[in-house]
């Protein structure tokens, strides 16, 4: 007669010790499988006398039921453990930052602005700023354009409402008033560029009532036209990304410079394309000159000690030339198709070392 109690203890221990479902299944087969120890016991009932069967039947059946229940309970527990382990392993950290998808693009005007700043920063120029709504005095008078000067007519100015003192603010017609603002608050040496929005009553394929310029100003004890020319050349080489450029100086007139010079750059427009640095055509680049002594004086700088040069150029125009956009109007129409075509990747900041416009 087998020791039923000992068998039960050993099977229940094996069930408790089964560490996974496969191990538990092995225990089940060894106890309750066709040839399992408990199955054999139950089979042995058939060969017993009625008295023996009556005594052992409930014993064996009870053993089988308790073992079956223990197997089922352990199976449930193991299933839960496995699920918990998987959940812990597969958890997603929802606080992690999402990987940025590059959508949207940098407008060609912003791109050229960043390029211009990168180039002049490398030459030691600081960036200066002024407001879009400007004093008439800074936009005109202190730049040697007094109230009745004919040059005022050339500017197609947007005037604002009259002030109490009779003066009228203007939407600045150029970035040159930032020269005035800089000289009024800073002692020489001065070396700045001032990019920004400018406004004139003008609108066609190459003119917009709001457009962008950048201004340059250098004031020091020794400055001359040679420095100005070198600065223009260095800018053109870097901006148009060519090794050599040829500039042509044309005499010009601006009230705030004397002498005044306009710069053209040699280019090739044959074949419907523009190439910079070679060819038989000329591209208008910038107005410039030596700062007029009267301007220095009106801005509190002694013209007998200091001179300087200044220049101004259109940012939108440079963007059109460099990136082959024939019409200025779509620059300000927010047309997605145009923006996708002419836009730049947001994470590609222009640098001289890395390339301005890859
Ligand atoms: N302010 C001029 C314009 O808007 C451009 C310009 C010309 C700026 C000569 C300058 C300069 O600083 O020296 O047409």
pLDDT digits (tens, 9 = 90+) for 209-240: 999 999 999 999 999 999 999 999 999 999 99
Q: Which pLDDT score is estimated for 151?
A: 74
Report which protein residue has its CA nearest ligand 1's atom 6. 312
196-215 burial, b if ≥16 CB within 10 A, otherwise e? bebbbeeeeeebbeebbbbb
Beta strands in 189-315 (DSSP E): 190-199, 210-220, 247-254, 257-268, 275-276, 281-291, 307-314
Q: In this structure, is the dihedral angle defined by the CA atoms of residues 143, 145, 147 and 151, taken in order, positive or negative? A: negative
**Nearest ligand 1 atom to alpha carbon 176:** 1
Q: Which pLDDT score is estimated for 216?
A: 98
With a 6 Å cutoff on the Cβ, whether 350 touches ligand 1 is no
153, 200, 254: residue to mutate for ligand 1 pocket, most atoms within 8 A of CB: 254
Q: Which pLDDT score is estimated for 4?
A: 87
178, 215, 262, 284: residue to mutate for ligand 1 pocket, most atoms within 8 A of CB: 215
- DSSP bridge partners of 223: none
**Residue 256: which residues within 8 A CB-CB, separation 6 or more?**
143, 144, 145, 176, 179, 289, 291, 292, 295, 310
List, for residues 310-343, the tens digit of each pLDDT value.
Answer: 999 999 999 999 998 889 999 999 999 999 999 9
Angle between helix 108-122 and helix 315-323 axes, rounded to 10 deg = 100
Average pLDDT over residues 1-21: 89
Q: Give me the chain's average pLDDT, please.
A: 92
With a 6 Å cutoff on the Cβ, whether 255 touches ligand 1 is no
Average pLDDT over residues 124-134: 98
Report which protein residue has its CA nearest ligand 1's atom 3. 174
With a 6 Å cutoff on the Cβ, whether 312 touches ligand 1 is yes
**Nearest ligand 1 atom to alpha carbon 289:** 13
List, for residues 275-307, the tens digit of each pLDDT value.
Answer: 888 899 999 999 999 999 999 999 999 999 999
Tokens 């089988």 map to which residue? 64
Report which protein residue has its CA nearest ligand 1's atom 8. 312
Q: Give the integer Cα–Cα distance in Å for 182 and 217.
A: 9
pLDDT at 139 over 80: yes
pLDDT at 358 over 70: no
**Residue 312 CA, ligand 1 centroid: distance in Å:** 4
**Residue 213 CA, ligand 1 centroid: distance in Å:** 9
Q: Which pLDDT score is estimated for 1?
A: 57
pLDDT at 158 over 60: yes
**Residue 310 CA, ligand 1 centroid: distance in Å:** 8
- Give the confidence band of 172 by pLDDT, cuts at 50, 70, 90: very high
pLDDT at 100 over 80: no
With a 6 Å cutoff on the Cβ, whether 111 touches ligand 1 is no
| DSSP state letter for 134 | E
Average pLDDT over residues 81-109: 85
With a 6 Å cutoff on the Cβ, whether 309 touches ligand 1 is no
**Residue 231 CA, ligand 1 centroid: distance in Å:** 15
pLDDT at 110 over 70: yes
With a 6 Å cutoff on the Cβ, whether 182 touches ligand 1 is no
With a 6 Å cutoff on the Cβ, whether 177 touches ligand 1 is no
Which has the minimum average pLDDT: 106-110, 153-157, 178-182, 185-189?
153-157
Average pLDDT over residues 27-50: 92
- Give the confidence band of 97 by pLDDT, cuts at 50, 70, 90: confident
With a 6 Å cutoff on the Cβ, whether 176 touches ligand 1 is yes
Q: Which pLDDT score is estimated for 194?
A: 98
Average pLDDT over residues 44-53: 90
Which H helix or E strand runs over 160?
A: strand 159-162
Looking only at the bridges linking them, the beta strands covering 190-199 and 126-127 are parallel
């Amino acid at each position: 007669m087998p020791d039923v109690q000992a068998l039960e203890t050993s099977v229940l221990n094996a069930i408790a010790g089964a560490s996974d479902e496969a191990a538990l299944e092995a225990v089940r087969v060894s106890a309750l499988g066709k040839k399992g120890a408990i199955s054999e016991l139950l089979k042995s009932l058939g060969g017993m006398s009625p008295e023996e069967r009556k005594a052992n039947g409930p014993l064996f059946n009870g053993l089988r039921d308790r073992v079956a229940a223990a197997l089922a309970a352990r199976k449930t527990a193991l299933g839960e453990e496995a699920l918990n382990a998987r959940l812990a392993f597969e958890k997603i950290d929802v606080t992690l930052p999402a990987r940025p998808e590059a959508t949207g693009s940098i407008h060609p005007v912003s791109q050229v602005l960043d390029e211009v700043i990168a180039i002049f920063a490398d030459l030691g120029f600081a960036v200066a700023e002024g407001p879009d709504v400007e004093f008439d005095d800074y936009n005109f008078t202190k730049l040697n354009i007094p109230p009745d000067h004919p040059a005022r007519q050339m500017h197609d100015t947007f005037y604002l409402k009259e002030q109490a003192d009779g003066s009228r603010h203007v939407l600045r017609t150029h970035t040159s008033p930032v020269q005035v603002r800089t000289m009024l608050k800073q002692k020489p040496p001065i070396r700045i560029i001032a990019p920004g929005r400018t406004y004139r009553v003008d609108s066609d394929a190459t003119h917009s009532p709001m457009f962008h310029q950048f201004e340059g100003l250098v004031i020091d004890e020794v400055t001359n036209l040679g420095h100005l020319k070198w600065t223009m050349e260095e800018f053109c080489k870097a901006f148009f990304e060519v090794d050599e450029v040829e500039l042509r100086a044309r005499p010009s007139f601006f009230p705030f410079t004397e002498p005044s010079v306009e710069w053209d750059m040699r280019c090739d427009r044959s074949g419907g394309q523009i190439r910079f640095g070679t060819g038989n055509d000329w591209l208008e680049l910038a107005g410039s000159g030596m700062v007029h002594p009267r301007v220095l004086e009106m801005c509190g700088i002694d013209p007998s000690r200091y001179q300087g040069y200044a220049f101004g150029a259109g940012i939108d125009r440079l963007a059109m030339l460099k990136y082959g956009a024939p019409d200025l109007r779509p620059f300000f129409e927010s047309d997605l198709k145009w923006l996708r075509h002419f836009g730049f990747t947001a994470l590609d900041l222009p640098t001289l070392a890395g390339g301005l416009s890859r």
